[in-house]
Structure formats: C-alpha cells, structure tokens
Structure 1
Amino acid sequence: MKLTGRESKERRHRRIRGRVSGSTERPRLAIFRSHQHIYAQVIDDTQHHTLVAASTVEPELKSKLASGSNCNASVEVGKLIAARSLEKGITKVVFDRGGNLYHGRVKALAEAAREAGLDF
C-alpha cells in the first residue's frame, strides 16, 4: 500500500526522533511547519523542558511580516530563536527538522540560526 505524504512525514519524524535527542549541554532545536506558520523550540529532553521558543505567531514578528508561511518569515524566526538561545547561554544544539525535508522554509530557518551564532 502506498503511503500518503502525511504518513511519510510521520514515519520520517518517528525515525528521526529515535536518533536525535537533546541534552542539557546540547539541547534539541525542534521545528514545526504548518501551512500558515513556522515554530521553533529549543528543548532539553532529559528534563522535558522547553528552554526557548519562537514562532511567526508572536506579535513582535507578526507585525513585521506580510506572511508567516514564506522563507523570509522563517529567516526571522531563525534569527530570533538564535538570539534568545544565546541570551540564555545556549550555543550548541542538535537540529530536529521534524520529519520535514531539509529544503525551503526549514533550510532557511536553519541557515539563519547558524548565521546568528547557533552551532549545529
């Protein structure tokens, strides 16, 4: 039986989560992409805490952006998550693309976070 796109993504996500885990020294940068927005969280999986979060839903970004679902919005979220992480003393993370392909909005967010100072 052929898998749908959603089923393929869920299967990829389960496989990735089996391998990728964040620690206190190197937390996980998790990405969730919806049709209208993009969300990023830095998570410590050992303590089950979200340390830092950023998304296009936040008022400070929403007012600047025409749309929350394009690469420009992803770049802004990447810069914001990196700035907030560095503020809390987090410099190294493990990247979790959340089952999405490393392309487009996910790639734009990752590259912006790298340029802003996060190491992964």
Structure 2
Amino acid sequence: MALSKRELFQKRRMRVRSKLRKLAAGRPRLSVHRSNKNISVQVIDDAQGRTLASASSLEKDLGLIGKNNVEAAAKIGAAIAERAKAAGVEDVYFDRGGFLFHGKVKALADAAREGGLRF
C-alpha cells in the first residue's frame, strides 16, 4: 500500500532526527518548521525539555507577517542567531525536520551561521 505524503514526511522527519540525536553530544537542537505561509525556528534543549530561543515570521517586530520567501527565511535565521547567543547558546545541531535542505531552509541555516551559530 502506498504511503501518503504526510506519512512519508513523518518518516523522513523521524529518520533525520534519530540520526542527528546520535551526533548531538548534548548540544541544543535548532528545529525548523516551514508551512506554506510562514516559517519558524526554535532552539530546544532536549535534556531539559524547554525552548531556549525562538523566531518566526509571525512576529510583528520582524515585519515579516505572511511572508514565506528566501529573504524572510534569512532574516529569521539572523534573528535566531542573535537570540540564541543572548541565551548563551553558540553550538547547536540543525534539525531540518522532514524538509529538504534547499531554498528557504538553506537560507535560514546560512544566515544563522553568519550570525554566529555553529553547526
């Protein structure tokens, strides 16, 4: 029986996350979620189960409400790098979820690296 697109996405997401957990070495996770209208990112400490920093295109102060393009992703990447460094986090591992490392996800990762995050 063929799997639905959602099931394939979930399978890919869990495969990526399980591989990354083996390499995590106690670092927080930089988790990305992308929808058709928005993009959001969080720095999560899985050991304590809490979010250390977050940024989203839904935030009014970033001025990106309803925008989901490469430029918006780059601004969010820069914002999360700044907020993570303010929270005392410099080393993370990048969890792209089930999304391909291309386009918006790649722009976000590149901007976060330029902002000072290491992954």
Amino acid at match of 2:16: I
1:114 is matched with which residue?
A: 113
8 Å CA contact 2:59, 2:65 repeated in 1: no
Q: Distance in 1 between matches of 2:59 and 2:97?
A: 21
2:43 is matched with which residue?
A: 42
Q: Note if 1:55 corresponds to 2:59.
A: no
Q: What secondary structure, in the 3-state scheme, does the structure 1 residue paired with 2:110 have?
A: helix
Amino acid at match of 1:58: E
How many residue pairs were aligned?
117
Q: What secondary structure, in the 3-state scheme, does the structure 1 residue paired with 2:17 have?
A: helix
Structure 1 length-normalised TM: 0.89
Q: Note if 1:83 corresponds to 2:86.
A: no
> Structure 1 stretches of 5 or more lacking a match?
none
Structure 2 length-normalised TM: 0.90
Q: What secondary structure, in the 3-state scheme, does the structure 2 residue paired with 1:20 have?
A: helix
Q: Distance in 2 between matches of 1:9 and 1:79?
A: 27
Q: Deviations over 1:43-73 (max 9, x none)?
A: 0001000000000000111x2x375210111
Q: What secondary structure, in the 3-state scheme, does the structure 2 residue paired with 1:30 have?
A: strand
Q: Deviations over 1:81-118 (max 9, x none)?
A: 00001111111000000110101111110010001110
8 Å CA contact 1:67, 1:73 repeated in 2: no
Q: Deviations over 1:18-39 (max 9, x none)?
A: 232366x520000000110000
Q: Distance in 2 between matches of 1:111 and 1:14?
A: 23
Identity %: 47
Q: What secondary structure, in the 3-state scheme, does the structure 1 residue paired with 2:30 have?
A: strand
